[in-house]
Structure 1
Amino acid sequence: MLLFGIVSAFLMLGGDTLQHSISQLLDTMTSHSQWLYIGIYIINFIFLVWLGCSHYGRIRLGQPNEKPEYNDFQWGSMVFATGIDASILMLSTTDPLQYLQNPPFGAKPFSAAAYRYANVCGQFNWGPMAWMIFATATIAIGYALYVKNLRVQRLSAAIDLLEGPQTYKKVLRQLIDFIVVFGIMGGIGSSIGMEIPVISKVLSTMTGFSDTIWLKLALFVVLFVLFTLTVYAGLNKGIKKLSAWHIYTAIGFLLLVLLIGPTRHLIGAEGHNLFHLFGKFGQLSLNATGSDSHFAQHEMLFYWGWWLSYMPVMGLFIARISRGRTIRQVLLGMATYGALSCMSFYAILGGYALFLQSSGQVDLVTLLNTQGQAAVIAAVITTLPWKIVMLAIFCLSCFIFLATTISSSAFIVSSFTSLELKIGEQPNRWNRMAWVVIFILFSLGIVLVGSFQTVQAVCVIAGFPLIFVCALLLVSIFHAVHNGEIPIEIENEETSHFLKKKLTPKFFM
């Protein structure tokens, strides 16, 4: 905690000089390290598709006939709500406008081809490949918890290569735990640092208050109170209830925009988006969007770093709520509740922004280039009927999105930094609340440094060491399912014979 407190103070005092240094570091990493980010995502995606489609996909994270602790809606809402914060509301609106003026695949800016691809890259960056990075940690931890019956308080405990009392293994476990907390801090800090200025701008538009640092500080105070109450209440009383409200407000806001806006146009445009996304999936996976599409390549690196930084906290959280589910159910659930839900935001909010731009109702691109993301989002919402109501719903959604993600993250990080917890025991409340304070201070530092490029740089830097952690988790999963005990519900004699022969002889003998 002390280290992150020092870093937070450094960010607050850094100013423009620090912003310039961070930008240079981001450019360096983009030039020399992107092949590592691309490689781990491709390997991870292919491995998990194979795992889910194979007979290993029937492995149940628990006893063979154990039922899931949460029903599908409760589980899905917690998965989606914890993995996605208010950034989806913002980036799904502004990303397509960025790609419109910096199109991939050799298209000319603002051309018909640019409009065709404007929403494709964003949906890819929030789609199945992104969500599968969360699944890696989820399956590794879930298997260790519910099949091997290990105590997994930290991510390093799920890596079987590091099991044992040897000194070098202890050192590596501690290093990985530090990398995990570092990554979480980067992801959470970036999320809040990006979202507070946008919420502040929307509130300014709605209320008439000046969009100053004092309004942003007031929002930090409100968030702190909300985070503290949720974290203090714990997993079932606080986070589960907040997740349900998260889903209701998200679905409600999207449906309002879809129904009030150009419904037929949005639905038709999304059909074309999915067609192009499927056709370009291979090129997007390799970040091969054309020699002149530096923006698209830069953006993908930012997103890959961001998703990696969230991988540990999401893996531990989803694993803790996934007891009784099979690996295949977990993977399919994350692909539907997670990836498809995110893509829906781009389809509706991004599609509506592109409609406003193409129809000439609002020059959102100029607004984005001159006044930033917050001004664009405020302008988009004010084109809808009942603009004050819509602005209020948007702000409420942002707060609930943020509160769910940050509260869950504080809950998990406090587990990482606690002494040994008993089975079923939750981290100390004061520990949880202390991490809320650290999250707030770190995020405030990012806001004071300013610029979206700072947010991007923090994500890329925080995600980089987790590339190697992800690789270790993939190896651990393969070892676990190939050599470990596999509780699979046997359906008939033929299947039973096949599993005895093919999977784990020591389990069935």
Structure 2
Amino acid sequence: MNKNLIDWPTFLGALFLLLAVSIPLAVFPEAGTEIVNMANDFMTGNFGVMYLIFGLAAFAFLIYVAFSKNGHIKLGDQDTDKEFGTISWAAMLFAAGIGSSILYWGMIEWAYYYQGPPFGIEGESQEAVDWSASYGIFHWGPIAWSIYTLPALPIAYFYYVRKKPVLKISEAVRPVLGRLVDTPLGTVVDVLFMFGLMGGAGTTLALGTPMIAEGVHDITGLPVTLLMKTVIMIICTSIFAVSAYSGLRRGIKVLSDINLWLAIFVLAFMFLFGPTLFISETTFTSLGLILDNFFKMATWLEPFANVEGFTETEFPEAWTVFYWAWWLVYAPFVGLFVARISRGRTIQEMVFGTMLYGTLGSVLFFGIMGNFGIHLQLTGSFDVVGFMNENGAPAAIIAILNQLPMSGIMVTVFTVLATIFLATTFDSSSYILSAVVQKEVKSEPLRWNRLFWAFTLCLMPLVLMFIGDLETLQTASIVAGFPVLFIMGLLAWSFIKASNEDIRASKDYEPPTIHIDRRDILKRMRKRKKKRSALEALEDRNVDD
């Protein structure tokens, strides 16, 4: 157990902040909930425009980088092979970035939009149906994956190109902050990131645990109780703890591959044995609606909501702003993870791969699962909305699955898939948390460190589950993620500054792949500095003469 590798100020700072939030919420649940909700209303109500501006800016920045000379930089040496095959790579980044939340929202999000659609549209109307089938895909589409990918740029660059064995957000902003990174400011940056990640992971747990519990109830007939949810949480924790302990190749990769094939099976079964034509046509129509209204959806904020005669829906704050804030909380973590698994790829491959595979996966989940539910609602086969309003979203999700042929088998597979999805998100999270609190990561974080953060991730959700208020954690993570908005700007600036400096100093400048030899660059920079010093000395001598 090499404790000298641990960055103790960051380790203890993140743990202290976690306890400082969990304990008061457990002791004073009502007051804590009220304060957190007030802070959330203030953030989303007054700074919502900042989140939406950032979303579009991240999307535009990633497109620019991919097509620029920076996009041709290879992450690694010239002869470095890709560490993971494309399928495993796509599976890992998708499982880490989405988790079981997509099973939850992919199946039921449309029902909320159907009842409370955007743009002042009447609920449960024909127009409401169109938007309810489209908005989920938009919220989980290119902008979301752009926010995720942005932090991966500087992190991957410093780790694989500049050969710095440090997986830290603070280290990635060193080109901008300089030596300030070595002060307490650098620790604050890393601690805020870790707290936001722990809160975001708790949100995923808050959605996944009740859904899995409903699946277990449907299979076994056991009632959904607090004890059942606790047991489910312990089982999920054990799975991702073992996976995190096993490491990237033997643990996370294996779980992600299993996850991918189970997801393909569920989607294919629902597509083939469900209303295939309806699902195909509705999904295709939704993509057209999004493309036609992309910027409208990305910038809508109801500026006239408080003016007399205008209808206020609170849709942007409740959904788009919330989602962009949620992606921000997760972004540094997903960026760290995507960076870690992208060795041997170019920046362009990493950018387009993450945005393309991530968006494609989201389209499949929302297009197939969501539109299956919409078909049940519109044809009168099953009143999804009425059942959800009466019994809750987790129960409605399982009820939708029960409308399929061989429903018992499908509910079982779906429940197993949700459990593994939850585990893959958490083992990826614990892997990155353990990496951030180490001074360097040459291969993988220390095993005891990975195991510690695997179980620590469950601390806050477990406390809040016992007091019956998991939603507070979700709201708290959004509030905690506000500073990440500014850190993301520093990350983008750092990548451009560092990569441009190295490209100008590199001999291998031409596409298709720019290989940057750090040793050669440093040698040439030292020669240039000596030459400059000699010229300055000569000029001084001429002046004296």
The reply to whether TM is greater than 0.5 is yes
CA contact (8 A) 2:159 2:167 kept: no
State how 1:14-33 maps to structure 2 within 5 Å: 14-33=28-47
Shift of 1:296: 4.1
State how 1:145-184 maps to structure 2 within 5 Å: 145-162=159-176, 164-165=178-179, 170-184=183-197
State how 1:167-246 maps to structure 2 within 5 Å: 170-246=183-259
Match of 2:361 among 337, 341, 344: 341
The reply to whether residue 378 of structure 1 matches residue 398 of structure 2 is yes
The 10-residue stretch of structure 1 (193-202 or 275-284) with the greater mean CA deviation from structure 2: 193-202
Aligned position for 2:377? 357
Structure 1 pair 489/243, CA: closer, same or farther in 2 (3 Å)?
A: farther
Aligned position for 2:478? 460
The 10-residue stretch of structure 1 (373-382 or 168-177) with the greater mean CA deviation from structure 2: 168-177
CA distance in 2, matches of 1:487, 1:99: 54
Displaced runs of 4 or more, over 6 A: none
Aligned position for 2:413? 393
Shift of 1:133: 1.1
Task: Write the deviation string for residues 111-164 of structure 1: whole angstroms up to 9, x where unpaired.
Answer: 100001102211111001100112111111111112222232311111134554
Aligned position for 1:278? 291
Structure 1 pair 459/2, CA: closer, same or farther in 2 (3 Å)?
A: closer
Q: What letter matches 2:461 in structure 1? A: S
Task: Write the deviation string for residues 170-214 of structure 1: whole angstroms up to 9, x where unpaired.
Answer: 222111111111111111111112211121122112211111101
Task: Write the deviation string for residues 21-73 of structure 1: whole angstroms up to 9, x where unpaired.
Answer: 43333222221121221122121111111111223221211224533121211
The reply to whether residue 474 of structure 1 matches residue 488 of structure 2 is no
Aligned to 1:151, the other structure's residue is in SS state coil
Aligned position for 2:261? 248
The 10-residue stretch of structure 1 (26-35 or 383-392) with the greater mean CA deviation from structure 2: 26-35
Aligned to 1:475, the other structure's residue is in SS state helix
Structure 1 pair 264/422, CA: closer, same or farther in 2 (3 Å)?
A: closer
CA distance in 1, matches of 2:358, 2:204: 17
CA distance in 1, matches of 2:179, 2:470: 44
Aligned position for 1:421? 440
Structure 1 pair 106/242, CA: closer, same or farther in 2 (3 Å)?
A: same
Aligned position for 1:503? none
Aligned to 2:53, the other structure's residue is in SS state helix
The 10-residue stretch of structure 1 (283-292 or 194-203) with the greater mean CA deviation from structure 2: 283-292
Structure 1 pair 154/293, CA: closer, same or farther in 2 (3 Å)?
A: same
Task: Write the deviation string for residues 471-493 of structure 1: whole angstroms up to 9, x where unpaired.
Answer: 1001112212322236868469x
Aligned position for 1:367? 387
Shift of 1:451: 5.7
TM-score, length basis structure 2: 0.86
CA contact (8 A) 1:11 1:448 kept: no
Aligned position for 2:5? none
CA contact (8 A) 1:287 1:297 kept: no
CA distance in 1, matches of 2:26, 2:262: 33
Task: Write the deviation string for residues 290-329 of structure 1: whole angstroms up to 9, x where unpaired.
Answer: 8533124421122112111111111111111111111111
CA contact (8 A) 1:78 1:240 kept: yes
Structure 1 pair 321/77, CA: closer, same or farther in 2 (3 Å)?
A: same
CA distance in 1, matches of 2:298, 2:345: 29
CA distance in 1, matches of 2:293, 2:80: 41
Task: Write the deviation string for residues 349-378 of structure 1: whole angstroms up to 9, x where unpaired.
Answer: 111111111111222112222222112101
CA contact (8 A) 2:176 2:490 kept: no
Structure 1 pair 208/371, CA: closer, same or farther in 2 (3 Å)?
A: same
Aligned position for 1:410? 430
CA distance in 2, matches of 1:487, 1:120: 48
CA contact (8 A) 2:176 2:494 kept: no
CA contact (8 A) 1:266 1:347 kept: yes
Structure 1 pair 320/397, CA: closer, same or farther in 2 (3 Å)?
A: same
Structure 1 pair 103/230, CA: closer, same or farther in 2 (3 Å)?
A: same
CA contact (8 A) 2:176 2:493 kept: no
Aligned position for 1:262? 275
CA distance in 1, matches of 2:508, 2:404: 52
CA contact (8 A) 2:59 2:143 kept: yes
Aligned position for 2:21? 7
Match of 1:329 among 345, 349, 353: 349
Give the aligned length. 495
Larger radius of gyration: 2
Structure 1 pair 247/487, CA: closer, same or farther in 2 (3 Å)?
A: farther
Aligned position for 1:94? 108
CA distance in 2, matches of 1:121, 1:481: 36
CA distance in 2, matches of 1:468, 1:163: 13
TM-score, length basis structure 1: 0.92
CA distance in 2, matches of 1:34, 1:365: 29
Match of 2:147 among 126, 133, 141: 133
CA contact (8 A) 1:302 1:456 kept: no
CA distance in 2, matches of 1:236, 1:412: 15
State how 1:59-98 maps to structure 2 within 5 Å: 59-98=73-112
Aligned to 1:152, the other structure's residue is in SS state coil
CA contact (8 A) 2:69 2:511 kept: no
Aligned position for 2:538? none
Shift of 1:391: 0.9
CA RMSD of aligned residues (A): 2.3
Gaps of 5+ in 2: 1-14, 306-311, 515-523, 529-545
Aligned position for 2:452? 434
Structure 1 pair 491/57, CA: closer, same or farther in 2 (3 Å)?
A: closer
